[in-house]
Each structure stands twice: as C-alpha cells, then as structure tokens.
Amino acid sequence: MQDFKRYQRLLENTLARQDFDHEPQELYQPISYILALGGKRLRPALTLAGCDLFNGELEEALLPALGIEVFHNFSLVHDDIMDEAPVRRGKKTVHEKWNTNIAILAGDAMLVKAYQYVAKVDKAILPKVLKCFSSTALEICEGQQLDMSFERMESVAEDDYIEMIRLKTAVLLGAALKIGALVGRATEAKAHSLYHFGINAGLAFQVQDDLLDAFGDPSKFGKKVGGDILQDKKTLLRIYARELDPKGTEALTQSALSGDAKVQAWQKLFVESGARSKAIEKRDFFLGEAHDALKNAAGSNQAVAEQLKEFATWLAHRDR
C-alpha cells in the first residue's frame, strides 16, 4: 500500500510543523506527548485517500486529516482514564504520567483543537464537513457508553453489539473518508458511498479484532490471547456461542475456571459450537459490503480505489 505510506509521511511532516509549545505547559505537554507516541495514522491517511480518490488537492486535506488524528487521540486519552489503563503504545498513559485531572483537561483541549483543524476547509463545504464531524463525535460517545453498559448485562443481542462497534469504531473511519471526499469535491452521493465503505471496513476490522483476541498468535498480535475471555466481554464470539450452544455457554459462564484453563475452555466452545466459523462469515460479509460500497463511490482515481480495496482486505484479515 504505497499510497498509504506516502499519506502517512505527509501527515507526520504536517504534525511536526504544529506548535503545541504554549502555556500552561501542564495543558499542552500531554497533547504533544500523546501525539508523539505514534501509531499508524490510518484514520487521517483515509482522509487523504478519500480526497485523492477524486483527484482533489492533498494539501487542502492535510489539516482536516490532522484534526481526525487529534480527535482519535483525544478519545484514547479519555478511554484510558475510563479503562484505568496504565500503558498506551508501550508508554505511560497521560493520566499515569501526569494525573487524571490533567488528562481530562488535555483531552478537552484536544477536542477543541480537532474542531479547529477540521474547520480548515473551503467555506463552500464547511457546513457539510462540520455536520459529518459533529455527528461522528457524538456517535463515538454513544458507542463508548453502550460498550460500558454491556459490561453490566448478562447477555447482548447480535444487532446491539454490531451497533455498538459501528458507533465506537467504524463511524470514525467512515467520517475520515467522507470528509476527504468532500474536500476532493466529490458529490454528496459519492461521498456517502465512500462513508459506507469505511463503515463496513470498520465493522470487519472489529470482528477480526474479536477473533484475534481469542485465537491470534501472541507473537504477532502483540498481547496475550484471551483477554476478552478473561474479562467476560460480550464479544461476537460469545454472542454466537450463546445462540448456538446455550447450555455449554451457561455452564462455562457459571464455572470457576480461571487463567489459561478458562481461555482454552472458551476457545474449544467457540470452535465446536460453530461460533468461530459464524464470526468469520460475518467478518467476510462486512468486507464484501465494503467492496460494493467502494464500487458505488465511483472514484476517478482507479489506483487509489485499488489501494482502498487492498486496505479493507488487510483490515479484515490482518494477524496483528
């Protein structure tokens, strides 16, 4: 995906030119810190790809793309507080390095900065861009709340789970692409199709994440397999297991198993009940929907379209 590497370089160069060295330092240093931790910059790269797909000027998309990245990192700062996570990308989380109050306020400032960057578009498309970004920001909050609410529920329906991952994960991919397409002067209909490409690619990504957490190779996945199992998370695998083998699921739910024994028992149930196969089928369904939406977007740059198709396939079948 050579174009994505180019987009990522452009974004890193743009980020390096930003000045966050302001007073009070306790507000701005955490912003510089979290943005310097890196990451793949996939979401802002999608904004550039959305623009490039319609042969738009990438220079016009750079600051809105940066806004998408700042927003994404703002959400990570607040998620880490809610999850009480000590580490992010191998380094201390913002609330651990400073404190919770500083992390909350720095996150708030990042949300404001994200809006400022996203608003750096032509006035002709500003209302559409801000409408897309604002609705997405609210949807991500809704998704996070649903995810937390599910922790207190005995069981979760498949449709409710899909809606949660759509809101929490997929909508930002869709918005990044749509905003890029609008900057590239795509029609509303084509930008909307590209949005749905991002939604379905994001859903495939999250289902694959569930599969990797249960069955991934720890040396590639980068963390211990079975974390969701040990935390009793209502993943798609757990939902399907309850549907396909309710007695087996109930027995394991009530068991006193812990550690590796618990992980292995659930892995066995997921395979033997058919939950794993059904989750793979669902993942591939979303990938197919993504490919169809990309065709409907009818971008004028075929090379970028192929890169986006390859990107969605990678998201759905990655091993890490």
pLDDT tens profile 232-249: 999 999 999 999 999 999
Cis peptide bond prior to 127, omega within 30° of 0: no
Please tell me whether residue 279 adopts helix, strand or coil conformation: helix
For residues 91-99, average pLDDT = 95
Three-point CA angle 119, 121, 123, nearest 5°: 95
Tell me the CA distances in angstroms from 301 to 50, 52, 214, 312, one per residue in order.
10, 7, 38, 17
- DSSP lists the bridge partners of residue 92 as 87
42-76 core/surface letters (b: 16 or more CB in 10 A; e: else): bbbbbbbbbbbbbebebebbbbbbbbbbbbbbbbb
Q: What is the pLDDT of residue 319?
A: 83
Strand partners, 91: 88
Ramachandran angles phi, psi of 118, nearest 5°: -65, -30
Query: Which DSSP letter does residue 23 get?
Result: S
Q: Give ∠ CA 107-142-168 in degrees, rounded to 5.
A: 75
pLDDT over 90 percentage in the chain: 89
Residue 224 reports pLDDT greater than 80: no
Q: What is the mean pLDDT of the chain?
A: 95
Task: Please tell me the distance from the alpha carbon of residue 78 to that of residue 176, in angstroms, as a whole number.
Answer: 20
3-state secondary structure of 92: strand
> Radius of gyration over alpha carbons of the chain, in Å?
20
For residue 192, give the nearest of 72, 298, 300, 287 by alpha carbon: 298
- Which pLDDT score is estimated for 159? 97
Structural domain boundaries in the chain = 2-317
Model confidence at 223, in pLDDT bands (50, 70, 90)? Answer: low
- Tell me the pTM: 0.94
Lowest model confidence (mean pLDDT) among 1-10, 42-51, 91-100, 157-166: 1-10
Apex CA 30: angle with CA 27 and CA 34, to 5°?
A: 145
CATH architecture, range 2-317 = Orthogonal Bundle (1.10)
Q: For position 221, what pLDDT does the model report?
A: 60
Work out whether strand 87-88 and strand 91-92 pair parallel, antiparallel, or are unpaired: antiparallel
- φ, ψ for residue 92 (rounded to 5)? -60, 140
Q: What is the dihedral angle through the alpha carbons of 256, 209, 200, 292, rounded to the nearest 10 degrees?
A: -120
Q: Report the Cα–Cα distance between both ends of the chain, in Å, rounded.
A: 17
DSSP 101-134: HHHHHHHHHHHHHHHHHHT-S-TTTHHHHHHHHH
List the one residue out of 11, 130, 131, 136 whose CA is nearest residue 66: 11
> Tokens 């998620």 — which residue?
79
Specify the DSSP class assigned to residue 1. -
For residue 242, the tally of other CB atoms under 10 A from its CB is 21
DSSP per position, 201-239: HHHHHHHHHHHHHHH--HHHHSS-TTHHHHTT---HHHH
Q: What is the pLDDT averaged over residues 290-311?
A: 97
